[in-house]
Structure 1
Amino acid sequence: MENKTVIFTGGSILTMAKDMYAEGIVVRENKIEFVGSLDECRKRAGSSYKEIDLQGQCLVPGFIDPHVHVMMLGMCHTWADISYPKVKNIDDLVNTLREYAENLPEGAPIRGFGFDKRKLVEQRYPTAQDLDRVATDRPVQIMNSSGHCNVVNHYLLNLIGVNKDTLDPPGGSFGRDSNGYPNGPLFDSANDYLAQKFGVKPGNHGPNIHMPDTQDNLQTNIKVGQELLLSAGFTTVNDVQVTKQEMESYLIARDSGLLKIRIELSFLSKYLDDIKKMGICSTFGDEQLTMGSLKLYADGSLISGTAYISKEYKDHERTKGYLFHEPDEFKQLLIDAHKYGLQTLTHAQGDGAIELVLQAVETAQKECPRPDMRHRIEHCGLPVKEQVKRIAELKIWPVPQPQHVYLYGNGVVQAVGEEGENYSPYGWFKEYNVPVVLSSDTPVAFPNAFEAIFAAVTRKTAQGNIVGADHKITLEEALKGYTIEAAKAVHKENLIGSIEQGKLADFAILDRNPFDVQEEELASISVVETWISGKQVFAKEKSLN
Structure 2
Amino acid sequence: MRVDCIIEHARILTQDEERPASDRLAVLHGRVVALGDDCAGLVAARTVDAGGAVVVPGFNDAHAHSVWFGHTLLETDLSACAGLDELYERIARAAERGRSEPEADPDAWIVASGYNQMDTGGVYPDAAALDRAAGGRPVWVKHTSGHSCIVSGRGMALLGIDGTERFDGGLVVLDDAGRPTGLLEESAMELVQSRLLPASQDRIVAALAAAGAVYAAEGLTSVTDAGIGGGWIGHSAQEFAAYQTALERGLLRTRMQPMLVGDVLRDVPLGAETFRGLPGGLRSGLGDERLQLGPVKMFLDGSILGNTARMSEGYCNHPGNHGYFQGDVEEMRGRALAAARAGWALAMHAVGDEAVGLAIGILRELEAEGVRPPLPHRIEHGGVVTDTQLAELARLGVPIVAQPYFLRAYGDGFRGYIGDARAAASFRLASLVRAGLPVAGSSDRPVAPGRPLAVMQAAVERLTDSGWVYGADERLTAAEALRAYTVGSAEATGWGGRKGRLAPGYLADLAVLSDDPTRVDPGRIGRIEVLATAVGGAPTHDAAGLFGEAAA
Question: Scaled by the length of structure 2, what TM-score is found?
Answer: 0.91
Aligned to 2:234: none
Aligned to 1:149: 148
Aligned to 1:515: 518
After alignment, is 287-296 or 316-325 more displaced? 316-325
1:445-490, CA deviations, whole angstroms, 9 ceiling, x for partnerless residues?
A: 2221111111111111233221111111111111111111101111
1:150-172, CA deviations, whole angstroms, 9 ceiling, x for partnerless residues?
A: 101011111122113222x1121
Distance 1:136 1:160 in 2: 18
Distance 1:407 1:417 in 2: 17
Alignment of 1:89-488 (within 5 A): 89-104=83-98, 105=101, 106=104, 107=106, 108-121=108-121, 123-167=122-166, 169-196=167-194, 211-243=197-229, 244-273=237-266, 275-315=277-317, 319-370=321-372, 374-418=376-420, 419-488=422-491
1:412-442, CA deviations, whole angstroms, 9 ceiling, x for partnerless residues?
A: 0011111123321123223322222220011
Offset of 1:371 from its aligned partner?
7.4
Percent of residue pairs identical: 29
What RMSD in Å do the two structures reach over aligned CA positions?
Answer: 1.9
1:90-123, CA deviations, whole angstroms, 9 ceiling, x for partnerless residues?
A: 11211122123322234342222222213322x2
Counterpart of 2:184 in structure 1: which amino acid? Answer: L
Equivalences, count: 523
Distance 2:191 2:217 in 1: 35
Unaligned runs of 5+ in 1: 200-210
Counterpart of 1:262 in structure 2: which amino acid? Answer: R
CA contact (8 A) 2:284 2:375 kept: no
Which SS does the other structure have where 2:56 is aligned? strand
Aligned to 2:537: 534
CA contact (8 A) 2:201 2:238 kept: no
Alignment of 1:59-70 (within 5 A): 59-70=55-66
**Does the C-alpha gap of structure 1 residues 189 and 235 become closer, same or farther in structure 2, counting only changes over 3 Å?**
same
CA contact (8 A) 2:303 2:351 kept: yes
CA contact (8 A) 1:15 1:22 kept: yes
CA contact (8 A) 1:347 1:377 kept: yes
After alignment, is 242-251 or 61-70 more displaced? 242-251
**Does the C-alpha gap of structure 1 residues 164 and 457 become closer, same or farther in structure 2, counting only changes over 3 Å?**
closer
1:293-343, CA deviations, whole angstroms, 9 ceiling, x for partnerless residues?
A: 211000011122211112222336983311112111111122112222221
1:51-107, CA deviations, whole angstroms, 9 ceiling, x for partnerless residues?
A: 2111121111111111111111011122222222xx122112111221233222343
**Does the C-alpha gap of structure 1 residues 249 and 50 become closer, same or farther in structure 2, counting only changes over 3 Å?**
closer
Distance 1:283 1:371 in 2: 10
**Does the C-alpha gap of structure 1 residues 282 and 304 become closer, same or farther in structure 2, counting only changes over 3 Å?**
closer
Once superposed, which parts of structure 1, at least 4 consecutive aligned residues long, lie more than 4 Å away? none
Question: Scaled by the length of structure 1, what TM-score is found?
Answer: 0.92
Which SS does the other structure have where 1:213 is aligned? coil
Distance 2:318 2:504 in 1: 53
Task: Please point out which of 50, 71, 76 is paired with 1:75.
Answer: 71
**Does the C-alpha gap of structure 1 residues 254 and 373 become closer, same or farther in structure 2, counting only changes over 3 Å?**
closer
Distance 2:518 2:389 in 1: 33
Distance 2:31 2:450 in 1: 26
Distance 2:159 2:246 in 1: 31
Distance 1:62 1:434 in 2: 21
Distance 2:5 2:248 in 1: 28
1:7-51, CA deviations, whole angstroms, 9 ceiling, x for partnerless residues?
A: 1121210111112111210012311111233xx3132x24x5432
Which SS does the other structure have where 2:92 is aligned? helix
Unaligned runs of 5+ in 2: 230-236, 269-276
Distance 1:397 1:529 in 2: 30
**Does the C-alpha gap of structure 1 residues 503 and 373 become closer, same or farther in structure 2, counting only changes over 3 Å?**
closer
1:175-225, CA deviations, whole angstroms, 9 ceiling, x for partnerless residues?
A: 21112221111111111112335x6xxxxxxxxxxx432322222111111
